[in-house]
Amino acid sequence: MPAIQKVIPDVPVIDRRNMNVWEHEPARQAVEGTGRRRLLVSGLLTEACVSFPVLSALSEGYEVFVVGDACGGLATASHELALRRMEAAGAHMTSWIQVLLELQRDWTRLETYDGARSIIETYGGGYGIGLNYARDIIKP
């Protein structure tokens, strides 16, 4: 995915074909190699390619957060059912805006301010409009 590689060019791509990334040894070893026990997961096909590795990681004691609105399923109902299944198994549900704001922490972190604000202004709906208003009209 060129857009992602542009932002993190030093992260190697691990090509795989199976639906459960947890069953692909090179990918799994890359995750385990970080030493981290908390995972943030999103992706396409909530019903398989997201839920299968989430359920596998949970069964091995990982703490898993699923970015539900950054996942896609075949239908709204099947997507929601997959999210509910993962949550029932112990995964924590979150949203892209919550992840971004947690990483940003506050608007005084100037090294990431412009990038975070740009994402929110572009994709953050009413919150993005409010940030534009504050910058252009209120000028804090």
Q: Is the pLDDT of residue 63 over 90?
A: yes
pLDDT at position 137 is: 83
- Based on its alpha-carbon atoms, the radius of gyration of the chain, rounded to whole angstroms, reads 17
DSSP bridge pairs for 66 = 41, 93
Per the listing, tokens 């932002």 go with 7
Q: Is the pLDDT of residue 96 over 80?
A: yes
Catalytic residue among 49, 57, 71, 86: 49
Pairing of strands 38-41, 63-67: parallel
Q: How far apart are CA 129 and CA 140, in angstroms?
A: 15
Q: How far apart are CA 8 and CA 39, in angstroms?
A: 18
3-state secondary structure 39-55: EEECCECHHHHHHHHHH
Q: Quick one: pLDDT band at residue 131, thresholds 50, 70, 90?
A: confident
DSSP bridge pairs for 25 = none
Average pLDDT over residues 3-10: 90
Average pLDDT over residues 63-89: 97
Q: Is the pLDDT of residue 140 over 70?
A: no
Every domain of the chain and the residues it spans: 2-94, 103-140
Average pLDDT over residues 99-109: 92
For domain 2-94, the question of CATH label 3.40.50.850 is answered with yes
Residue 71 annotated to the active site? no
Q: Quick one: pLDDT band at residue 60, thresholds 50, 70, 90?
A: very high
